[in-house]
Amino acid sequence: MEKTTHTPPIVVSGIRSTGHLHLGNYLGALRNFVEMQEHYQCYFFIADLHSLTTHPTPDHLQESVRDILAEYLAVGLSPEKCALYVQSDVVETIELYLYLNMNAYLGELERCTSFKDKVRKNPNNVNAGLLTYPTLMAADILIHRADIVPVGKDQEQHLEMARTFGERFNRMYKTELFPAPQAYQSDKPLVKIPGLDGSGKMGKSEGNAIYLFDTPEEIRKKVMKAVSDIGPSEPNQPKSEPVQNLFTLMSHVSTPDTLAHFEGLYNQCEIRYGDMKKQLAEDMVNFLAPLREKIDYYRHNEQLLCEAAQLGAAKAQQSARATLSRVRESIGIKSL
């Protein structure tokens, strides 16, 4: 474990507010969050402000925040155990964002990989919010004086920038207010959930994902269409990537006996991928059924969603206000 300044350590992570959760998110990241809330002081939030860089419609924004909240409650994040909140409910973050922007330099923001990617993909929408995405993310993290930030590889550069901005603030104002937030290293091996298209991991933008809220019919259709190969030509032949992916998925949703059964058939060159996929689809349907049911329950329970969001906001605001008053004091901002 890295050096931390809080006991238990403070954990912050943001969740993109666009798109639904898929099986890869669940097995790869969310189950960790659910585990972490037992041992750390956790702040998990839905990053609705970040999504404004792409100008969603008001209806769409609202709806996706509600859907994501329902999904996070359904997978087991507890409003009692962690602070589960909506980013825009904690306006303190926005004030810290402004202060951090005063010491975030154009050069370093422009060099950021995700910024360069987005400029390349959408040259007509290079707005200042996009450029300062890393400062807003740093504000999310620093507002709770986080020690640990569980994020994927694609966010490591942003986290590095949050460390830079925090250290810069400390140096400039001769304070030790901000700890250096570290990426979360789990002691369990990282699970990488493959997609259904033969190669790579499951992802929202790849079109190869099984969503937690997919209907049984959708799941069956997707699994039956999954890429495989022409089958093994000799016993115990190493598996091709698409076939290995099917087995990996099976290892997560089927029983060990089922997995061993199909491993055996494969090794004896007697496997029929159609049968295997049928079994995989049924096991996946059963694995996801309880989650789907809970998501549905929360989606239709406006009051529970509101209560969860309000409780989360109150907890997060308390922590944010404490940090912000120290920030203001350091800078010399004081009402006369």
Ordered strands of the 182-183 beta sheet: 83-86, 41-47, 10-16, 148-149, 182-183
Residue 94 Cβ vs ligand TRP, minimum distance, rounded to whole Å? 13
Instruction: Work out whether 92 is an interface residue with ligand TRP (CB under 6 A).
Output: no
Question: Residue type for 157, please?
Answer: Q
Instruction: Work out whether 70 is an interface residue with ligand TRP (CB under 6 A).
Output: no
Residue span binding ligand TRP (CB under 6 A) among the ranges 135-143, 251-259, 303-311, 317-325: 135-143
- 201: β partners: 194
Residue 74 Cβ vs ligand TRP, minimum distance, rounded to whole Å? 20
Closest C-alpha to 21, from 303, 313, 222, 291: 291
Instruction: Work out whether 36 is an interface residue with ligand TRP (CB under 6 A).
Output: no
Choosing from 81, 201, 239, 278, which is the catalytic residue?
Answer: 201
10, 13, 23, 209: residue in contact with ligand TRP (rule CB under 6 A): 13
**Catalytic status, residue 118:** yes
**Catalytic status, residue 81:** no
Residue 23 Cβ vs ligand TRP, minimum distance, rounded to whole Å? 17
**Catalytic status, residue 239:** no
Query: Cis peptide leading into 8, omega within 30 of 0?
Result: yes
Binding mask 139-168 for ligand TRP (x = CB under 6 A): -xx-------x-x---x--x----------
Give me the residue whose beta carbon is nearest to ligand TRP.
14
Answer for the pair 280, 272: CB distance below 8 angstroms, yes or no. no
Instruction: Work out whether 47 is an interface residue with ligand TRP (CB under 6 A).
Output: yes
Instruction: Work out whether 16 is an interface residue with ligand TRP (CB under 6 A).
Output: yes
DSSP string, 180-237: --EE---SSPPP--B-SSSSSB--GGGT-PPBTT--HHHHHHHHHT----S--SSTTP
Instruction: Work out whether 283 is an interface residue with ligand TRP (CB under 6 A).
Output: no
Q: How many other CB atoms are found less than 10 A from the CB of residue 270? A: 11
Print the SS3 string covering 240-283: CHHHHHHHHHHHHHCCHHHHHHHHHHHHCCCCCHHHHHHHHHHH
Contacts with ligand TRP, residue ranges (CB under 6 A): 12-14, 16, 47, 50, 137, 140-141, 149, 151, 155, 158
Catalytically annotated residues: 118, 201, 204
